[in-house]
Amino acid sequence: MTKRGMLLAKALGLVAFVSVWELASHWVGDYWVPGIGQVVGRIWTELLAGKLLADLAATSQLLLAGTSIGAVCGCAVACMLRLAPRLDMLMQPFITAVMSIPKLGLVPLLVLWFGTGWMPKVMLVALTVLFIVFSLTYAGLATVNARLVMTARVFGASSLQLTRHVVVPSVLPFIFTGLQVALPWAVSAALVAEYLAAKVGIGHGIEEARQLSDSVGVYYGIVLATVLVLLCNGVLALVRKLAIKVQP
């Protein structure tokens, strides 16, 4: 498909989405599905009041901190297990068991351990990202070409050179895929964390609107969260394009 065809398809998809939204608003009423005009009006009002940028900044900081911690720890655990086969065999059943636990179900435990401050919110996002990035990184390390590693060693490549020129280029696509998969879940975790105890943030705004039966406010928060996911995906795609230049 040509570039013009892709743009046309996206435009038609957007028109269809807007049409369905407006029809739903007329059919079921504004309380259930507020009109697009109402939501856009709320966005403009909150932007002028400064609340929109404050909420977006608060949730973005939480998302960035939790995602960074989760991604680094996930990659580190995957590398550690791949380098220690015996430890890998020992830990796999425990990792499988922990991965099966719904991360949002850990919220009461995190609050019990760390209170209702910044720490449990970051921990919830980090745990959500950690296991997804771990799984993809672990799988990526298994795809490293053994013949390529052997050939590099024959030509005198050091461990640092092998890591830099063979292992990292092979695993990077898996890491970025893991981050791309984890991103929507991380945003959901950040919103749930802000439901608990926060005075600012997209999740706090949605919870506040729910308590006031403000459906427009809830939809405003959902749209803002969707915009945040799209922005993060765009940044992630750009970083991936810059980072992944040469494949072994």
Q: With cut-offs at 50, 70 and 90, classify the pLDDT of residue 245.
A: low
From residue 171, how far is each of 85, 131, 247 by CA, in Å? Answer: 18, 16, 10
CATH code for residues 34-243: 1.10.3720.10
The average pLDDT across 149-170 equals 74
Q: How far apart are CA 59 and CA 206, in angstroms?
A: 12
Q: DSSP label at 105?
A: G
R_g of the chain computed on alpha carbons: 22
Label residue 201 left, alpha or beta by phi (over 0 means left) and psi (-120 to 50 means alpha): left
- pTM of the predicted model, to two decimals? 0.82
Mean of per-residue pLDDT scores for the chain: 83
* pLDDT tens digit sequence for 89-145: 888 778 777 777 777 777 777 777 877 778 888 888 998 999 899 989 988 888 877
Q: With cut-offs at 50, 70 and 90, classify the pLDDT of residue 197.
A: low
- The answer to whether 108 touches 193, Cβ cutoff 8 Å, is no
- Taking the domains of the chain in order of start, what are their residue ranges? 34-243
pLDDT at 1: 60
Q: How far apart are CA 47 and CA 87, in angstroms?
A: 52
